Structure 1
Amino acid sequence: MPFVTHTEGDGPAQPSGPAYEKPVPRPARSPAKSREIRAQNRRREYINRNPEYFASTEHEFADPLLYDTLIRQHQTPAEREADGKRKGYSRVLEGDLARGEARLADLAKKAEESAETPPGSATATGPRANPAAVDLDLFAPEGKDEARARWRDFLADRFVYGQDEDFDYDVVDFDEAYDVMERRDAEDAWFEEEDPEFWVSEPDEKSDQRRESRSGETGVQDF
């Protein structure tokens, strides 16, 4: 289907129509928001390059109940025994104590919410500090692989949003080497801002002369 061109002034012909409309630029972010997004993108790139971050035994204490649901309950007896040997007796005991305290705190919180809720009314649930725990209430993981993937996603989000108190975020937040996503977005924005260009051939003087000479020929030789 041929496209329609229009000429404004003496400029070159430009295509018109919805397919050639210039994209609307995104609204500018505030400096604080830009710094926040840049830091989060750098953190995301860091854990992509350093998957060993997820292997730390310290992550168990980030959410003991969630760890128990997504990891421990899906371990075989042999896996749990090997995990205990790797952590050591003191660390296993510390994990058990943390889970016990978390269960008591969770029961106390539920009892308090139940007492504050009038009979017959729907229980109002506010946002939780642990997004992954909300997902557990809605969709139980189907199998060991999905449970481990959800635990990994929880740790990744926790790291990106700066909730790992044992990590020195400055080594990542101020390192431009992790600006992979920002450079990619800048390249995409540059291509979006570029107008489509079409090559228009310039008139050929020799071709015009040949056309004029041919228009005067009659096909009869004159002597």
Structure 2
Amino acid sequence: MTMEVEIDQPEGSAAEIIDKDQIIDFLTNNETICFKSQQRGEDDLSKQEKTNIALEIYNKSKLNFLVRFGKYLQRSQLDFFQQFTQNCEESDEINIVLKNHLETVVKKKQVNVKNRRYEALKEMIREDSYFSEIEMMKRNPLLYDQLVGQYMTEEEREERDRININENSTLVKVLMEGIERDNAQVKRKKQEEYEDEVREEEESNSDDEMSTSPKSPKITHVQWGEFLSEPTAQSAKKAKTKHVAPEEQRLLKEEFVSTMYQDFLDGKDDDFDYDSVDNNEKYDNNEMVENDEEEKYFDAEEPETVPCSQSPEESEDELDIFMSGLNQHPGVSQLSKDIQKL
């Protein structure tokens, strides 16, 4: 499972002035950095002592400074050292170290975004709003019908499509619900047209193979009865519900739900404001962040004796297990292949 995140803007305010004093001040405020090896019982270094140590290293060698402290810097601070990648005695080495640090920053940002989206996903699942069956059906009506809707009975579809009207409902709310469902029908129509275009293109590219085989009959999908135009509604009435075993029906629905979860994590929900999650510290797993900072401290203090710390990729185990469990189920895998053949 992968999720790519593009990182275009450096961290920090655009108005922030980045120079060596700002960078050193930033480093000396980081309690996880070990500036000097100390004996047990020694007093902690003062901020001024830390500043003097960092400044001495910086003045002697920009390369050593980057090797020692580069992993703690933000992207905008790392960009400050681009000026030393040319016309400098250590330019080649600085360029290599700087490139590695920048790649690490981007990778860390991608992992942070993925973790934040996962925390937001769990929150919205608990709230049962954005990831309710109706809302997911509105976002991907064609996939819903292929995996869920076409196997529902008429009674189940009527129950599903019934607008929940209670004492708190307003006319505007009822009208908006109808508009949203109509929009879903339009979206579904576009999805079907796109699939037809792709299928026609594939068929045109394999004329030799298709010339001796009959064309596959077009599948008739069951629509939402109360929001259909009259011709489509008449066609839907003639369509028969496809019957599958209850266990298969359950697995197909789980496949639909897991696909919607994964689409959210991959940033494929076009109408969702991902900035509200990706840049929101509210969704940070504080316990995991604290563990990462503690591991950084010990890595800097005793790298040769401290066991390898858990990598950012390993921190995704819970998410990977959650999302891959259904896809690895043999029943889901086989049913998915059968659906693709239709």
TM, length-normalised to structure 2 = 0.37
Which one of the candidate residues 38, 46, 50 is aligned to 2:124? 50
Which SS does the other structure have where 1:86 is aligned?
A: coil
Give the drift of 1:104. 2.9
Aligned to 1:161: 266
Partner of 2:193: 104
Q: 1:179 to 1:118 in 2, by over 3 A?
A: same
For 1:170 and 1:89, the matched residues in 2 are separated by 29
Counterpart of 1:116 (choices 177, 182, 205) is: 205
How much has 1:183 moved relative to structure 2? 2.8
* Aligned counterpart, 2:279: 174
Q: Give the Cα–Cα distance (whole angstroms) in 1 for the partners of residues 283 and 181 of structure 2.
A: 35
Quote the residue 2:151 is aligned against.
74
Shift of 1:63: 2.9
For 1:72-107, what per-residue CA distance to the aligned partner results, in whole angstroms no more than 9, with x for missing partners? Answer: 123332221122222855544444443333223212
* Gap change, CA 1:31 and 1:45, over 3 Å in 2: same
Structure 2 vs 1, CA of residues 148 and 112 (structure 1 numbering), >3 Å: closer, same or farther?
Answer: same
Asked whether the equivalents of residues 138 and 180 of structure 2 are also in contact (C-alpha less than 8 Å), the reply is no
Change in CA separation of 1:118 and 1:56 when aligned onto 2, cut-off 3 Å:
closer
**1:118 Cα deviation after fit:** 5.7
Q: Report the CA distance between 1:168 and its aligned residue.
A: 1.8
Inter-partner Cα distance in structure 1 for 2:294 and 2:253: 34
Task: Classify 1:164/1:98 alpha carbon distance in 2 versus 1 (closer, same or farther; 3 Å).
Answer: closer
Q: Call closer, same or farther: CA 1:155–1:188 in 2, change over 3 Å.
A: farther
Q: Distance in 2 between matches of 1:104 and 1:85?
A: 27
Aligned partners of 1:184, 1:118: CA distance in 2, in Å? 60
One-letter code aligned to 1:44: Y
- Contact kept, 8 Å, 1:44 with 1:156, in 2: the verdict is no
Letter in 1 for 2:188: R
Separation (CA, whole Å) in 2 of partners of 1:154 and 1:188 = 36
Q: In structure 1, how many angstroms separate the alpha carbons of the residues matched to 2:148 and 2:291?
A: 36
Structure 2: 5+ residue stretches without partners: 1-99, 165-176, 211-245, 308-342
Percent of pairs with identical residues: 26
- Cα distance in 2, alignment partners of residues 98 and 165 from structure 1: 13
- Per chain length, whose mean CA-contact separation is higher, i.e. which structure has more relative contact order (CA < 8 Å, sep 6+)? 1
How many residues are treated as equivalent by the alignment?
151
RMSD after superposition: 3.5
> Could you tell me how far apart the structure 2 residues matched to 1:184 and 1:153 are?
30
Aligned residue in 1 for 2:292 = 186
Q: Provide the rounded CA distance (Å) in 2 between the counterparts of 1:109 and 1:39.
A: 33
2:162 corresponds to: 85
**In the alignment, is the contact (CA less than 8 A) between 2:117 and 2:278 conserved in 1?**
yes
Aligned-partner Cα distance in 1 for 2:182–2:281? 41
Q: Any conservation in 2 of the 1:39–1:173 contact (CA below 8 Å)?
A: yes
Counterpart position of 1:41: 115
> TM-score scaled by structure 1?
0.54
Shift of 1:187: 7.8
State which of 257, 261, 285 in structure 2 corresponds to 1:152.
Answer: 257
User: After the TM superposition, which parts of structure 1 deviate over 6 Å for at least 4 consecutive aligned residues?
Assistant: 190-194
What displacement does 1:167 show?
1.8
- Per the alignment, residue 208 of structure 1 pairs with none
Question: Larger Cα Rg: Structure 1 or Structure 2?
Answer: 1
In structure 2, do the counterparts of structure 1 residues 150 and 187 end up closer, same or farther at CA, with 3 Å as the change threshold? farther
Helix, strand or coil for the counterpart of 2:208? coil
